Structure 1
């Protein structure tokens, strides 16, 4: 009975707190190149990225940091990546709220959940339109960050996997 009491008293809070402690605090750095994608450095891309950072800051007033960048491949695929770092207590509802915030900008259809395989990280993707092109918008949120990717010429499944890969390279827990 004593072991059961200790397990319930100490084990459950530790189990609940583990994702928070492993995901927060976090920092984000956009590398110049990720696999075949290069960060676009032209004036219009930098201006668009700064505008995205400003929008993210307005939507997340308590964010510790914001980031945004536009990547492209030699075959014309484009990935826009933006988000924020900071403590989040409800990542699942934060991911849904971010898609709701972006629904008007991208004419998003119903979102679907994407399995991340990581406890405490929630991801959702939705199909939409931007500048006349079909896009997939995916949002990944955990207890230390919220990352959004806008993908051209990719399926929902491929976009979800790519956002998960990009997020792991861009957002890192601080030690």
Structure 2
């Protein structure tokens, strides 16, 4: 009975707190190259990234930091990546809220859950339109960050996997 009491008293709070302590605090850093994708450094792309950062800041007033960048591949695929770092208590609802916030801008259809394989991290993707092209918008939220990617010429499944890979390279534990 004593062991059961100790497990309930100490174990359950530790189990609940573990994702938060693993995911927060976090920092974001956009590398110049990720696999075959290169960060666009031209004036137009940097201005678009700054505008995205500004919009992320407006929608996440308590964010500790914001980030945005536009990547392209040699075969013309484009990935726009943006988000914020900071403590989040309800990442599942934050992921849905971000997709809902972007629904009008990208004419998003119904979003679907995407498996992340990480306790405390939730992702959603939806198909939409940007500049006349079909895009997939995916959002991943955990207790320390919210990351969104806009992907051209990729399926929903491929976009979800790519966002997960990008997120692991961009959002890092704060040292």
Query: In structure 2, what is the equivalent of residue 25 of structure 1?
Result: 25
Q: Secondary structure at the match of 1:62?
A: coil
TM-score, normalised via structure 1 length:
0.99
Structure 1 stretches of at least 4 aligned residues deviating more than 2 Å after TM superposition: none
Query: In structure 1, what is the equivalent of residue 6 of structure 2?
Result: 6
The whole-number CA distance in structure 1 between the counterparts of 2:143 and 2:172 is: 12
Question: What is the CA-CA distance between 1:174 and the residue it aligns to?
Answer: 1.7
> What do residues 103-136 of structure 1 show as CA deviations (whole Å, max 9, x unaligned)?
0000000000000000000000000000000000
Say yes or no: does 1:42 pair with 2:42.
yes
Query: In structure 2, what is the equivalent of residue 110 of structure 1?
Result: 110
CA RMSD, Structure 1 to Structure 2 (Å):
0.4
Query: In structure 2, what is the equivalent of residue 76 of structure 1?
Result: 76
The whole-number CA distance in structure 1 between the counterparts of 2:32 and 2:49 is: 14
Q: Secondary structure at the match of 2:148?
A: strand
Query: In structure 1, what is the equivalent of residue 143 of structure 2?
Result: 143
Query: In structure 2, what is the equivalent of residue 120 of structure 1?
Result: 120
The whole-number CA distance in structure 2 between the counterparts of 1:172 and 1:16 is: 21
The number of residues matched between the two structures is 175
